[in-house]
Amino acid sequence: MELKVLNTSGTETGKKVKLNKEIFAIEPSDHAIYLDVKQYMANGRQGTHKAKERSDVSGSTRKIKRQKGTGTARAGSIKSPLFRGGGRAFGPRPHGYGFKLNKKVKQLARKSALTYKAKDGAIIALEDFTFEEIKTKNVVALLNNLKIADKKSLLILSEQNKNIYLSSRNLQGVEVITASELTTYKVLRATNIVMVESSFEVLDKVFSN
């Protein structure tokens, strides 16, 4: 499969880029995608939830009434979960949600996500470019020329470019990353994937390691 390379004006340059079959045309694995996205979202959770249990609540630990003969249930402390102001029974405690996922499964998930985007025709090959100054309107003009201004877009560069990143930072629905930072979640979240010409080579090296 080949893609026509466009320039920043949205016109064809006459060049074409060939998509690697090992990345953009594999048999996709939905389960691998599920596991990778689940791990990505789990790693983003803080896990700092905490409720005060009876050992954390302030108050006396003396026995508030005699054991028997009151006609009511036994009670050993005012901090019991049964009383108002007492500690919570089996409340949430801080813990991490992350889990281990094998490297090959993560690679399979990313390749599967890219394969789906390639089949849907949602990948755009763009000629290498840069901005001389930091201006949001440059990115807006680029998206308008590519006719994807009203869609969530993921711009993949071969290496970090400060001017492009800062110019797109204020735009909602636009994210700029390098090919080495590619994740399954970000690929699936975007409606269109815009890849600069040199990023295809970087992506080949990333998946070959």
Average pLDDT over residues 103-114: 96
How far is CA 80 from each of CA 54, 70, 132, rounded to the nearest angstrom? 6, 18, 66
Whether residues 81 and 118 fall in one domain: no
Distance, in Å, from the CA atom of 79 to the CA atom of 55, rounded to the nearest integer, reads 8
Q: What is the pLDDT of residue 61?
A: 87
Looking at the fold, whether 115 and 30 belong to one and the same domain comes out as yes
pLDDT at 208: 83
Query: Among 34, 62, 95, which residue terminates a domain?
Result: 95
Q: What is the mean pLDDT of residues 72-88?
A: 92
CATH number, residue 116: 3.40.1370.10
Residues 57 and 70 in one domain: yes
Is the separation of the CB atoms in 139 and 168 below 8 Å? yes
Residues above pLDDT 90, as percent of the chain: 89
Q: Do 83 and 126 fall within a single domain?
A: no
Residue 59's domain spans which residues? 48-95
63 with 160, same domain: the answer is no
Looking at 33, 60, 95, the residue that finishes a domain is 95
- In terms of domains, do 39 and 135 share one? yes
Find the mean pLDDT for residues 121-142.
Answer: 93
Number of H helices, E strands in the chain: 7, 6
pLDDT exceeds cutoff 90 at 157:
yes
Query: What is the distance of C-alpha 186 from the center of its chain?
Result: 5
Q: How many domains does the chain have?
A: 2
Q: How far apart are CA 194 and CA 175, in angstroms?
A: 10
Per-residue pLDDT at 209 exceeds 90: no
Is residue 148 classed exposed, middle or buried when 0-12, 13-18 and 19+ CB atoms within 10 A define those classes?
buried
Encode pLDDT of 167-197 as tens digits. Answer: 999 999 999 999 999 999 999 999 999 999 9
- Taken as a whole, the chain contains a residue count of 209
User: In Å, how far are 18, 125, 142 from 15, measured between CA atoms?
Assistant: 10, 10, 19
Both 147 and 185 in one domain: the answer is yes
Question: 172 and 141, same structural domain?
Answer: yes
Cα–Cα distance, 78 to 52 (Å, whole number): 14
pTM of the model: 0.84
35 and 126 together in one domain = yes
Q: Are residues 108 and 201 in the same domain?
A: yes
Domain boundary among 35, 68, 95: 95
Say yes or no: 133 and 66 in one domain: no
